Amino acid sequence: MTNTPNDKVNLVDKLQQFTEHWSPRIVGELNGQHVKLAKLEGEFPWHHHQHEDELFLVLDGHLTIHLRDRTVELDEGEFFIVPRGVEHKPVADVETHVMLLEPTSTLNTGNVRNDLTVDEPEWL
């Protein structure tokens, strides 16, 4: 069911509506930004977003964000903002649920195009 801007959003309810990994769904929009939910498991390729900062908030599970010079470990209730232009590689050893915040223009694979690229994320 499509969310209208007038609805409240229950994160757990929305997460129950899809199972695919690395396939963010849009659940809200404000000020040119999308709020997205994603289920992550395994490794995602290195990429960056040239003009967009990207926030990862872990709702459940554990996410490792590899940067070229260090690694950020995120547990439930922790977020990290990957600044624009910074290469990153998210890895989830167990299925991990995240809330993402990024401009509506953001492509999930950033500067890279591959099988995981989602050109038009679905609204939930």
Neighbours of 43 (CB within 10 A): 14
The stretch near its own copies (CB under 8 A) out of 22-30, 36-44, 90-98, 108-116 is 22-30
Q: Does 2 bind its own copies (CB under 8 A)?
A: no
User: Residue 71 CB, nearest distance to its own copies (Å)?
Assistant: 11
The stretch near its own copies (CB under 8 A) out of 16-24, 38-46, 49-57, 110-118 is 49-57
The stretch near its own copies (CB under 8 A) out of 3-11, 17-25, 89-97, 116-124 is 3-11
Backbone angles phi, psi at 26, to 5 degrees: -85, 130
Residues sharing a CB contact under 8 Å with residue 70, sequence separation 6 or more, in sequence order: none
Q: Does 85 bind its own copies (CB under 8 A)?
A: no
The CA distance from 24 to 40, in Å, is 9
Parallel, antiparallel or unpaired: strands 88-103 and 33-43: antiparallel
Q: Does 5 bind its own copies (CB under 8 A)?
A: yes
The CA distance from 63 to 38, in Å, is 12
Residue type, 36: K
Q: Does 124 bind its own copies (CB under 8 A)?
A: no
Residue ranges binding its own copies (CB under 8 A): 5, 8-12, 28-33, 35, 52-55, 72-75, 77-81, 83, 101-103
